[in-house]
Chains A and B, each alone.
Chain A
Amino acid sequence: MSQFFDLFAYSFFQNAFAASILISLLSALIGTYIVARKNVFISGGITHASFGGIGIAYYLGLNPFLGAAVFAVLTGTSIEWITNKGKMREDSAIAILWSLGMALGIIFVFLTPGYAPNLMSFLFGSILSVGRSDVLLIGGLTLLTALFFLLAYRPILYTAFDPEFSSINGIKVTFYRYSMAVLVALAIVVSIRAMGIILVLSLFTIPQTTALLYTHSFKRIVGLAALFALSGALIGLYVAYAMNIPSGAAIIFVLTLQYLLLKGIDLLRLQRRRNTAE
Chain B
Amino acid sequence: MSKLLANIEKVSAGYNGETVLRNISLKIHDHDFIGVIGPNGGGKTTMVKVLLGLLAPYKGKVSHPNGPIRIGYLPQAAHIDRSFPITVQEVVESGLQGRPFWRPGPSKTQKQQIAQILHETGLSSYAHRPIGELSGGQLQRTLLGRALIKEPDLLVLDEPNTYVDKTFEGELYKWLQELNKKMAILLVSHDVGTISSMVKTIACVNQELHYHPSNVLSAELLKVYNCPIDVIAHGPVPHRVLGEHRH
Contacts and interface: CB of A to CB of B under 8 A. Distances in A.
B86 interface: yes
B94 A168 contact: no
Given A152-B101, A154-B104, A162-B94, A168 B71 contact: yes
Contacts of A221: 85
A83 to B, nearest CB: 14
B160 to A, nearest CB: 15
A165 B94 contact: yes
A161 B130 contact: no
A69 B109 CA distance: 44
Given A164-B75, A168-B52, A153 B104 contact: yes
Contact of A155 (B91, B98, B132): B98
Given A162-B75, A217-B85, A169 B133 contact: no
Interface stretch (B76-84, B198-206, B228-236): B76-84
B29 interface: no
B130 A217 contact: yes
A217 B54 CA distance: 28
A262 interface: no
Interface in A1-51: 32, 36, 38
Contacts of A86: 15
B90 interface: yes
Taking residues whose C-beta sits less than 8 angstroms from the other chain, chain B's interface range is 20 to 34
A11 to B, nearest CB: 39
A151 B53 CA distance: 27
Contact of B90 (A151, A157, A168, A212): A157
Contacts of A169: 94-98, 150
A167 interface: yes
A181 B90 CA distance: 23
A10 to B, nearest CB: 40
A40 to B, nearest CB: 13
B73 interface: yes
B44 interface: no
Nearest to A87: B16
B94 A216 contact: no
A147 to B, nearest CB: 11
Interface string A72-97: 00000000000000110000000000
A38 B130 contact: no
A177 B84 CA distance: 16
Contact of B84 (A161, A165, A166, A171): A161
B146 interface: yes
Given A38-B81, A162-B80, A169-B97, 11 more contacts: A36-B85, A152-B104, A157-B86, A157-B94, A158-B94, A161-B91, A162-B79, A165-B73, A168-B52, A216-B85, A221-B85
Interface of B: 15-16, 52-54, 71, 73, 75, 79-81, 83-87, 90-91, 93-98, 101-102, 104-105, 128, 130, 132-133, 146, 150
15 contacts: A36-B85, A38-B81, A151-B101, A152-B101, A155-B98, A160-B84, A161-B86, A162-B75, A165-B73, A168-B54, A169-B94, A169-B98, A169-B150, A170-B97, A217-B86
